[in-house]
Structure 1
Amino acid sequence: MIMYFPVLRISTAEMNAYGSLNDGTKESIIPILESKRVSVAKKDTWWSTFNTLGSYLGGKFKDNSFIYDYKQAFDKLGKIDSEMIDKDGNNLITHCSIKMDQENLSYIPCLHFDSPNWYVDSVLALRKENLAIRIRCHDFSDTLDDIILQAVKKNIIEKSDAFDPNVFVILDFFNVPTSMDRISKAISTFSQINNSRIILSLTCCPEDASTAGPMTFDVVASRNDLKLFKDLQKVHEGLSYSDYTVRVNPEPDREARIDYYNTYIKIFYTTEDSYMIGKSSLIKDSGIEKFHDICKEIVDSDVYSGKHFSAGDKAIFECSQSLLDIADHSKPIEYGVNHHIELTSFQFRQN
C-alpha cells in the first residue's frame, strides 16, 4: 500500500525534482499537486495559464498517479469564481480536467471541505473511481470537526452515492503547531466517511533559511512531523503520510523584484530525523563559488546519503567537486526536494 503523498507545486523546480526520481520511487508515492495560480493580470484569459497542462503533466507523470488540487488556481484572485468560463463554456475545474483527460492521466480530483456547490458538482461530474477531499484543519479548531464532517457528508459524499468513489481524506495541518490529541481526534472524526482512507499532512520544515548563518551547514529543525505520524500510526491503523517536502511555500511570483546579488545560495537537506540547511555567503561576495565549499561540507558529513542515492545528491557531489556551478535559486530547491522525497520514500519502504 502506498504510504507517502508529498505535496508538490507545478513549478519548474518541483516538477524537475519529481521527474528525476528513481522509477521505483515514483511508483511508491502519490503526489498531491497544487494547481498553478492564475494571476490577476491574466484573469480575463485565465485558460492561457493551463495551455500545456495535460501534455506537461503527461511528460512528467506518464502512467503514475497523482492527486490534483484545483483550489490554488484561485489563490491570487481573492475568491473561487464560478464566472471564469473558457471559450467553450467550461469553468476552470472542467477545463483543467479535460486537459488531463485528453492525455489519459491517472489523476484523482481533489475537493476541499468548503468548496462551493458548482465546484463540487464539476468534480463529481467527472465520475472518477477515486476522489480526494482536503480538510484544512489548520484553519479551524477541533470544536468544528463534527460540524465540518456533517457538511462534507451532506455536500459531497451524499452527492457521490451514484458512483460511490474511494475517498482520500487529507487532514492538512500544514505547519501550524498542534498536539497528538488534536490530530488523533480529527482522524477518528473524519474516519467516519465511508470508503475513506486518511492521509495526515503536516510539516516542521522551516519556511525559509533565515535562521541559518552564512557559510554554514547546520540543523534547523527536527523532523517531528514524521515522528508524530509514526506515533499516531500505532494508534490509527492504515494512516498515510503527507508532507510539504522542503518547500513549505510556493515560489515567489515571477514579477516579484529580488535583489539577486544580495541573496544567498541555500539548500535544504533532509536527514532521517532532522532538516538541515547549507547556505553560502551573499552572491555579491562570491556566493556561487563559496557554495562549492558548502556542498563539500555536506558530502564530507555523516548525514550525506551518497552520490548514487538521488539526483539531488549527485548534483551536490558534482558541485562539491567544482564540476557544477549552482547559480540560481531554483536548482537548490529541485535538488533538495528530490533528495527529500527519495529519503522519505526509502524510510517507508524500510518499515
Structure 2
Amino acid sequence: MNTTYFPILKALTAEFTALENTKPGNAENIIPLFELPKVPDRKKYRESSTPITEFIDDTSEEIGRLWAGKNAMFDAYHWSPAATNEQGEHIIPYAYQALELMGVKAVPVVGYDRWSILEYQMALQSIARTHKGKFCIRLDHTAFEDSAEPDFFKANLDEIISLLELDPANCHVILDFEDVTPLGATDLIDKFESLFNLISSYRFMSFSIAGCSLPKTINEAVKKQNSCGVVLRKEMLLWRSARQRFPQFPIYFGDYGVRGPHSNEGIRSPNTNGKIRHTIDKEYFVARGHSLSKPPKGEQMWELAQKIIDSGRYLGANFSWGDSEIHRCSTKKFKGNAGQWIAIDTNHHLAYVVAEVAEFERVTASRAVTVEG
C-alpha cells in the first residue's frame, strides 16, 4: 500500500517542533521535503560575518537531530538558483554535505524551473558525481506550463536525466501544484493527467502529488471573525482521483502542512489573528479569532481550542501531541504564540494525514480484492 506521506515543510522551528513530537509509528511513514527558508532576521545572524553558512549549519543540525538515519529531501526553492554562501560555495551542495555530516540520508531535489541556470546545473552535477542515494525531480508550475509543448518539456526532462546521469528507477518525482486555491477540482485533474501522461513512460521509482488549499490569509478561509469554517483540501481529492485512475503506478500523497508555499516565513505581523487549523477528512476545520493585539489578546486561544473540541471533529488528546496541546489550551494551561500554534496544527496534520492515507489505501485494496473475487 502507498502509505508513505511526502509533506513539503519549511525548515523552521515550528515544523521541527511538530516533527519532534510526532509519534514514531507515524514518523516512519513520512519522508519530508525540507524547504530551506531565507536567513531569518535574528540577532545571531545579523551580527555574524557568515550568516548564510551559519544558518545552513544550524538548520542541518536540527534536521539531523530529528531525522538522522532516515531519508529527507531538501530544496532551496525560494533562493536564487545561483546563491552561494560567504565562501563562494553554492548553497545546494553545501547543504547536502552539511546534512550528510549530520547522518541524514539526504535526497537532492532537482527543480525543473531552475534547471536552465548554469550555476544551478553545475551545483547539482557536483552532487551527482558522488551521491549514491536517491534523487528527486520537482515539477512545478513551469513544468505544467511546458507540458503544453510535449517535445519541449521532454527535451528538458531528458537533459536533466542525462547531465546528472540519473537512473529513473532510483528517482522520485513530485508534481507540485503549489497554491491550488484558484483551481477547481476538474482543472487540477486535467493538469495532472496532461503532465503525468508525459512522464509515466520514464519508469521513475515513485511519484507524489503536492499542493496547498489554504489561502495566504485566514480571512480568505473564514470571512467572519470569531467564527469557524471549513476549507476543502483539493490536493487530497486530486491524489485520491490519481490513485484510482492510475492504480498501477506508485503515486503518493504530499502537501504543504498547514501553511502554504508562499506564506510568511516566521515574519511577525501586528495584525495576526488567533486561529487553529485542524485537519479533518478531506478538509481543514478552521477556528478563527481576531487580532491578537486586541483584547483578550492571546487568551482568545482558550475559546478557539474549546471550539475545536466541541466541533465533533476532535479525536481526543491521545491522538497526537498537537491534540493534547489543544486540550491543555482549552483548560487555560497556556495560550501559545503564532509559531507554537503552527507546530501544534502541523503535528496534528501529520498524524491525521498518515492515518487518512492508510485508511484510503486499506479501503481501496479491500474493494480491489472484492472485485477480483
TM bracket (short chain): 0.7 to 0.9
Query: In the aligned structure 1, how far is the partner of 2:133 from the partner of 2:268?
Result: 44
Partner of 1:158: 162
Instruction: Please tell me whether the aligned partners of residues 264 and 287 of structure 1 are also in contact (alpha carbons under 8 angstroms).
Output: no
Q: Matches of 2:167 and 2:4 in 1, distance apart?
A: 25
C-alpha separation between the residues in 2 aligned to 1:107 and 1:245? 21
Please name the residue that 2:218 is paired with.
Answer: 209
Q: CA deviation at 1:99?
A: 1.0
C-alpha contact (below 8 Å) 1:191/1:198 kept by paired residues: no
Q: Confirm or deny that 1:224 pairs with 2:234.
A: yes
Distance 1:54 1:273, change over 3 A: closer
The code of the aligned residue for 1:150 comes to: A
Paired position in structure 2 for 1:143? 148
Cα separation, 2, equivalents of 1:191 and 1:164: 11
What are the Cα deviations for residues 64-103 of structure 1, in whole angstroms up to 9, with x where unaligned?
A: 321111333x2xxxx3226x2554x632222112211112
Q: What SS does the corresponding residue of 1:174 show, helix, strand or coil?
A: strand
2:130 is the counterpart of 1:119: no
Q: Which residue of the partner structure matches residue 338 of structure 1?
A: 347
Q: Following TM superposition, by how much is the alpha carbon of 1:278 offset from its aligned partner in structure 2, in angstroms? A: 1.2
Distance 2:166 2:308 in 1: 54
Q: Write the distance in 2 (CA, Å) between the matches of 1:166 and 1:68.
A: 16
**Aligned residue identity for 1:98:** Q
Q: Aligned partners of 1:153 and 1:214: how far apart in 2?
A: 50
Task: Tell me how far 1:335 sits from its aligned partner.
Answer: 0.9
Q: Which amino acid aligns with 2:125?
A: D
For the residue of structure 2 that corresponds to 1:51, the secondary structure is helix
Please say if residues 174 and 201 of structure 1, whose CA atoms lie closer than 8 Å, have aligned partners that are also in contact.
Answer: yes
> Residue 14 of structure 2 corresponds to which residue in structure 1?
13
Distance in 2 (CA, whole Å) between partners of 1:170 and 1:21 is 23
Match status 1:180 vs 2:186: no
Please tell me whether the aligned partners of residues 18 and 60 of structure 1 are also in contact (alpha carbons under 8 angstroms): yes
- What does 1:59-78 correspond to in 2, within 5 Å? 59-72=65-78, 74=79
Residue in 2 that maps onto 1:240: 252
Q: CA deviation at 1:44?
A: 6.9
Alpha-carbon offset, residue 161 of structure 1? 3.5
TM-score normalised over the length of structure 2: 0.83
Amino acid at match of 2:242: L
Q: Report how far residue 197 of structure 1 moved.
A: 1.6
Aligned match of 2:318: 308
Deviation string for 1:231-278 (max 9, x for gaps)? 111121321111111110456356x5632xx43211111111211211
Unmatched 5+ residue regions in structure 2?
Answer: 363-373
1:67 aligned counterpart, secondary structure: strand
What one-letter code is carried by the residue in structure 2 that aligns with 1:263? T
What is the alpha-carbon distance in structure 2 between the residues aligned to residue 210 and residue 145 of structure 1?
Answer: 39
Aligned-partner Cα distance in 1 for 2:58–2:50: 18
| Cα deviation digits, residues 130-184 of structure 1 (max 9, x gap) | 1001011366423135422221212x21234487761111111112423312211
Query: SS at the partner of 2:149?
Result: helix
With over 3 angstroms needed to count, the CA separation of the structure-2 counterparts of 1:348 and 1:164, relative to structure 1, is closer
Aligned to 2:62: 56
CA distance in 2, matches of 1:310, 1:69: 28
CA pair 149-305 structure 1, distance change in 2 beyond 3 A: farther
Segment drifting more, 137-146 vs 178-187: 137-146
Residues in 2 aligned to 1:123 and 1:317: alpha-carbon distance in whole angstroms? 46
Letter in 1 for 2:298: I
Distance 1:161 1:315 in 2: 47
Q: Say if 1:111 and 1:123, in contact at 8 Å, map to a contact too.
A: no
Question: How far apart are the structure 1 equivalents of 2:90 and 2:125?
Answer: 11
Using the size of structure 1 for normalisation, the TM-score is 0.87
* Structure 1, 42-51 or 98-107: larger mean CA deviation: 42-51
Matched residue pairs, number?
338
The answer to whether the 8 A contact 2:93-2:123 is kept is no
- In structure 1, how many angstroms separate the alpha carbons of the residues matched to 2:8 and 2:272? 26
Please tell me whether the aligned partners of residues 2 and 30 of structure 1 are also in contact (alpha carbons under 8 angstroms).
Answer: no
Compared CA separation, residues 27 and 47, structure 1 to 2 (3 A): same
CA deviations on 1:210-246 (whole Å, 9 max, x unpaired) are 1322222222x21222112111111213211111111
**1:264 touches 1:282 (CA, 8 Å); kept in 2?**
yes
Give the match for residue 369 of structure 2: none
Residue 323 (1) aligns with residue 333 (2): yes
Secondary structure at 2:209's aligned position in 1? Answer: strand
Aligned to 1:129: 133
How many Å separate the matches in 2 of 1:292 and 1:139?
Answer: 44
Residues 37 and 265 in structure 2, CA contact (< 8 A), matched pair in contact too: no
Q: Distance in 1 between matches of 2:67 and 2:99?
A: 11
Give the aligned partner of residue 27 of structure 1.
28
Matched, 1:46 2:46: no
2:334 alignment partner, SS class: coil
- Secondary structure at 1:322 match in 2: coil
